[in-house]
Amino acid sequence: MITWRRVFQLLIAIAIGVAVLLVYRSLGRYSLEEIEESALAIGRHRLGVAFVFVIASYLCLTGFDWLAVRYAGKPLAYRRTALASFTSLSIGHNVGMAALSSGAVRYRFYSRWGLTGEQVAKVIVFCGVTVGLGLVTLAGVALLASRGERGDLLELNGPMTILLGTACWLAPIGYLLICWRVRRPIVLHRWRFEPPPLRLAVAQIIIGTLNFACVAGCIHQLMLALSEVDYLTVATAYVTANIAALISHVPGGLGVLEATILGILPSSASIGALVVFRVLYFFVPLLMGVPTLIASEAYFRRQPPNASRQAAG
């Protein structure tokens, strides 16, 4: 008997296969020497500005959790949500299946600070919704701001670009309307979601969009060191690549982000910028997140059983 779980697993397998093909076709066009040469051509100033955007993005991500614990009904001090957010996402971004990998790390932190399993699940769902809202909102901004002048982007003509941008904006607008008017949980099959208060929904859209705008800003700065490309084009290419990476479930979107962006912005210089981006945005935080997790585990093991819960807040 074919179940939805089997269908989902089959779709994931197909997505991974397509991702591998994209990686091979896109990255195979460039030699190691070309990649190394373009990466070394990025100046210190561009690297510095790009890393500032990385820091800004991770600060936005801590805001995801700060809002989420309030949505879950268990407000915590910012220092706690920032620790849980950075540690979980620095690892989850690289491992893949972020809802599960980062969710497991989040559970380790939040359960010690008094959140129930249901509340932690609410935090994870809230953060996931914030990611989706941020992606579609930034996509709408980039597409509409281009005023249809980038017809070659995604192989769409001008009017279709504007139409797609408008469609992207329907998601956050519809979400705000639901949060404003609906007072009961929304149930779709086994999926249940309680709309947050309107003020939290507005904050979700703002901080979610700012996060992805910062990531696109990082890539833009690195690419500017090697070629002339405007921010809106990079932002739209990044949003498209991020959606592809989320669908593929490849750990950290490894290769999928690069392949998708290169498919939209083909350039031997771009691959060098994207390699540096992966180091700055994925690998550097990972090198900080893993020791932080290990240190926190050691710290909590030395605490009395209920000390951390009593100190939460």
Residue matched to tokens 């498919």: 263
Q: Considering only CA atoms, which of 270, 275, 274 is closest in space to residue 229?
A: 270
* Terminal Cα-to-Cα distance of the chain (whole angstroms): 49
Residues 163-176: pLDDT tens digits?
888 888 999 999 99
DSSP symbol at 303: S
The C-alpha atoms of residue 37 and residue 269 are separated, in whole angstroms, by 9
Distance of CA 110 to the CA centre of its chain: 21
Given this model, what pLDDT does residue 166 score? 86
Phi, psi (5° rounding) for residue 149? Answer: -85, -5
Which of 48-62, 89-103, 217-231 has the highest average model confidence (pLDDT)? Answer: 48-62
Q: What's the mean pLDDT in 15-38? A: 52
Is the distance from CB of 108 to CB of 116 less than 8 angstroms? Answer: no
Of residues 298 and 216, the one with the higher pLDDT is 216
Given this model, what pLDDT does residue 100 score? 61
The C-alpha atoms of residue 163 and residue 186 are separated, in whole angstroms, by 28
**Binning pLDDT at 50, 70 and 90, where does residue 26 land?**
very low
Rounded to two decimals, the pTM is: 0.81
Given this model, what pLDDT does residue 12 score? 45
Least confident interval from 9-23, 118-132, 145-159: 9-23
**Binning pLDDT at 50, 70 and 90, where does residue 120 land?**
very high
Give the helix/strand (H/E) hosting 187.
strand 186-188
Q: What's the mean pLDDT in 278-289? A: 85
Question: What are the residue ranges of helices labelled H in 182-283?
Answer: 198-224, 231-248, 256-264, 268-278
